[in-house]
Structure 1
Amino acid sequence: MSSPTKIPFLSFIQIDKKSNTPLYMQIANQFSNAIQRNYLLKGTKLPGTRKLSELLQINRNTVIAAYDELQAQGWIESKANKGTFVIEKTKNTPVKLKNSFEQYSSIYPDKAGFAFKQSNILDSPYEKITTKYYFTDGTPDNRLVQINQLSSFYSASIKRKTNKKKLNNSSYENNAFFLKNMANYLNLSRGLQINTQNILITNSSEMSLYIAAETLLSKEDKIIVTDLSYFSSNMTFQNKGAKVLTAGVDEEGIIIQHVENLCKKHKIRLLYITPHHHYPTTVTLSPQRRVQLLHLANKYGFVILEDDYDYEFHYDKSPIVPLASSDKNGMVVYTGSFGHSLIPGFKLGFIVAPKDVIHEMQKHLNVINPQGDILMQQVLAELIEEGEISRYLKKATKVYQERRNYFCKLLNEYFPDQISFNKPSGGLAVWVNWNKEINLYNLMKIALNNNLSIPKTLLYQNKDIRATRLGFGHLDKDEIEIVLSILHHSVNQL
């Protein structure tokens, strides 16, 4: 039996206080790793919690929690008046301890021994947020959600015997209740005239775009996006092998003449657009241009992939209904998100399209997500049927409208001559044009030093444009004042 005083624990227990993994779990994981590799043999006596805490220079309660975790996993046992011992069931001969944890943990190779395709297109542009305050491109505030009420709905649903039976089968009949309520909801809120066979439910709007690209595009297909567009969708299209062409955008949305000029020069397969609140500039596609765009789709035979990512949030007037609501020839595939005002686990994506397209898309969904979340769909259906979704959205929209107004008010106060913007009629972000000659990337670095993150994905700067998309939805009024104060201070430091 090894003496605990002779075992160099510091050689294989290394604590990273910056890691997201709790300290006690770091210790437990490294102990179990050492036991499995025979660094600590069966019968080895471990040091007492006080002694190990002094050795590792951590709180004793952390060591106690680590030992409790190891005992729960079956690696060690405590014997009264004797101590704590390893009980891993192996009888291998002792191995010589190495000098450091890194040496034995690096046994698993860092690089594959085979060739594989690597994608530069799909490299994530997102950065890790390290500051207390930050901007997003327009995300909701999960703090507004009444989590207890949502929890009670979910708890009640999962206890029903009829719902439990659905867990082993993801057939159409199992989510027919949700599809029916979803179709009714979309018909009422978006002016559509669809039935349950026109809807495909996905886990997210990103999954919807992926399935749409897989179904609608082939390699070398030419598609149109706006010259300022959503980078994630562009990545998806390019990764599919499509050739991306761009059309301009102004205060009325995509410029129709640019689209027609491209159609005359190329065989266009698809046009991707966010007409309700264009990403990133937040402008709304005018009714006249909507009619013209549908006319061009019919004339030249291209698919309109309409992404209504934040249709739920509109403030000053009734929103313009989607292009899909006026499509009489089956040229529009409509995607969006549902439950945007709820917490992430309650949000879903959806696709609305002609029945034959949905049938084909279902094949792709069956490959990447065959089961789906039947219980969650059941809960959301009940929230729709009982009017809870509408009540959630009404409350949230009122809060976001107040935040938008306050955000725009302070923008005018802090930057009266330095910026120009239009107050958005909906959505959770403001498109800000900078009149001042500034380098936005330098501003980003200065703001970071002032405890404010402005992700690179929000910065738009070239010889023709100098703008930022600043989200306000995730900030309360106090936070809005703080972040804009920091931004103002950072601009003055340029």
Structure 2
Amino acid sequence: MLRPWNTILPIDVDKQLSVYQQIADGIIAEIRKGRLKPGTPLPGSRVLAADIGVNRKTVVLAYEGLIAEGWLETVDKKGTFVSHELPLQKKPATRKGNTFAFNHTTGMLPEQSAVPSGLITFNDGLPDVRLAPMDELAKAYKRIFQQKARWRMLGYGHPQGEERLRVALVNMLSFKRGMNAGKDSICITRGSQMALYLTAHTLLQPGDTVAMECPGYLPAWQTFAGAGASMVNMAVDDKGLVVDELEQLCRTKVVKAVYVTPHHQFPTAVSMKMERRLRLIELSNRYGFAIIEDDYDHEFHFDAKSLLPLASHQDAANVIYISSLSKLVAPAVRIGYVTGPAAFIAALAQLRGLVDRQGDPMMEQAIAELMEAGAVNRHAKRAFNIYKERRDHMEAHLLTYLGKKMTFRKPEGGLAFWVKFNRTINTEELSLKLLKKGVSVMPTERFSFSGKPLNALRLGYASLTPTELEEGIRIIATAIR
């Protein structure tokens, strides 16, 4: 059996205390410090004796004493282990002296815990990982490792990410989203959240004013606030960001940036209408603020023609565009990216080098290969049809079970519904009640930065089968009676 413990026992043969007692005391000290935990296997007596340069009988004597006192235990044909039931220990004395202060980041993201088996989870709009093209990705990954020049990828890569993937993304943005980006104006990140962090800390100085949709995406709010920004709420209605409020703010304050999710607003799933988009771009050019456009699930727009990103507009000189392949492929595939003016991206890439010097060149190469071969596009088309069908199922079940208790608009796109209840509901309490019934929902109080109750739920549907959707909605309906 592998013995993970690296022996560190200070033995002094000239000391009056016997050597076997020094060994025993040293092991007890290691247990008390927590380096040797209950169940940890210890080296065999021969190995430990050779390691510290003593007679094996001395080690055996120490082990026997520790077993008798309850510090160690033996398991037949397996060896000696730290006892699972240790003798009562005195609490270590509190260390005196000053301790250092640090910044707390508690609550920056919702806590993620292991999902119990059988739990129906309405997440915030994640894809169904069961649909992910894992076979194609595994084969691409294997081919990358089998290349003759694979050793070149083991060194440090480009601070903006693998050029092959940047080129593939540039082509995709050009053909699918009408954007005119170049490989030097794009930086690969480990997911869109990292792209958002790098953007905030490259763009902002302490005290800068940032406007943001309300309700909105909590991690974005906290990322900007963590960078020292002064945050201002901007209302959202059925046409997206209320640009009139933004214009009024610009007349009284210098606004450094506006964060928006125009394609499918988070959390309401509303698509920003064209007149609002044009006015937002015009205000950006007039007042000189950056538009941080988070396009987190562009591919899944089901009604009419999908609107192109703000960044695709010919007059959009100040747009920083953030997106990701995580929603398209799988959340565990941490491939995000950010585009913008080349000088800004170069500065952002320098910061990325401090936080994540290497990135993941193997994964970036594998994803690039899938994009070049058309596998990502084929997967997107397949997933699109499945999610569109599930959206229809979701609508039908909401009308059947919750039709008189709530209002909603069937979303034009995105992977979640925004359901507003007809009466006041504390969704924190509701989520705890539902957990006991086998359903998980996200409390929405965290999306309201103004403190105003939303009385709504964001119910992601894409990762659930039609049967799971119906059962989950039925349980929610019974819980709010």
> Partner residue of 1:154?
141
Q: Is the 8 A contact 2:301 2:413 kept in 1?
A: yes
- For structure 2, which runs of at least 5 residues remain unmatched after alignment? 11-19, 25-37, 72-84
Secondary structure of the corresponding residue to residue 474 of structure 1: coil
Say yes or no: does 1:399 pair with 2:359: no
How far is the alpha carbon of 1:42 from its aligned partner? 9.3
Say yes or no: does 1:491 pair with 2:480: yes
How far is the alpha carbon of 1:381 from its aligned partner? 1.3
> Partner residue of 2:120?
133
How far is the alpha carbon of 1:270 from its aligned partner? 0.5
How far is the alpha carbon of 1:176 from its aligned partner? 2.1
> Partner residue of 1:332?
319
Distance in 2 of aligned mates of 1:371 and 1:356: 21
Structure 1 residues 334, 155: closer, same or farther in 2, change over 3 A?
Answer: same
Q: 1:227 aligns with which of 199, 214, 239?
A: 214
Distance in 2 of aligned mates of 1:356 and 1:105: 60
> Partner residue of 1:119?
104
Secondary structure of the corresponding residue to residue 260 of structure 1: helix
Give deviations 1:214-236, integer Å, cap 9, x for gaps. 11000010110012110000010
How far is the alpha carbon of 1:345 from its aligned partner? 4.1
Q: 1:478 aligns with which of 464, 467, 478?
A: 467
Distance in 1 of aligned mates of 2:430 and 2:437: 11
Say yes or no: does 1:292 pair with 2:279: yes
Distance in 2 of aligned mates of 1:319 and 1:108: 65
After the TM superposition, which of the residue ranges 363-372 and 429-438 deviates more from structure 2?
Answer: 429-438
When the two structures are superposed, what TM-score results if normalisation uses the length of structure 2? 0.81
Say yes or no: does 1:435 pair with 2:435: no
Q: Is the 8 A contact 2:339 2:345 kept in 1?
A: yes
Structure 1 residues 167, 129: closer, same or farther in 2, change over 3 A?
Answer: closer
How far is the alpha carbon of 1:459 from its aligned partner? 6.8
How far is the alpha carbon of 1:121 from its aligned partner? 6.5
Structure 1 residues 116, 382: closer, same or farther in 2, change over 3 A?
Answer: same
Distance in 2 of aligned mates of 1:458 and 1:141: 26
Structure 1 residues 120, 145: closer, same or farther in 2, change over 3 A?
Answer: closer
When the two structures are superposed, what TM-score results if normalisation uses the length of structure 1? 0.79
Distance in 2 of aligned mates of 1:478 and 1:110: 57
> Partner residue of 1:194?
181
Where do residues 410-449 of structure 1 align in structure 2 (5 Å cutoff)?
410-449=397-436
> Partner residue of 2:172?
185
Say yes or no: does 1:363 pair with 2:363: no
How far is the alpha carbon of 1:424 from its aligned partner? 0.8
Task: Let me know the Cα RMSD of the aligned residues.
Answer: 3.3
Say yes or no: does 1:87 pair with 2:47: yes
Identity of aligned residues (%): 28
Where do residues 188-337 of structure 1 align in structure 2 (5 Å cutoff)?
188-328=175-315, 330-337=317-324
After the TM superposition, which of the residue ranges 181-190 and 163-172 deviates more from structure 2?
Answer: 163-172
Q: Is the 8 A contact 1:458 1:468 kept in 2?
A: no
Amino acid at match of 2:253: H
Say yes or no: does 1:382 pair with 2:342: no
Distance in 2 of aligned mates of 1:181 and 1:322: 18
- For structure 1, which runs of at least 5 residues remain unmatched after alignment? 1-27, 44-65, 78-84
> Partner residue of 1:346?
333
Number of positions where the alignment pairs a residue of Structure 1 with one of Structure 2: 430
How far is the alpha carbon of 1:239 from its aligned partner? 0.9
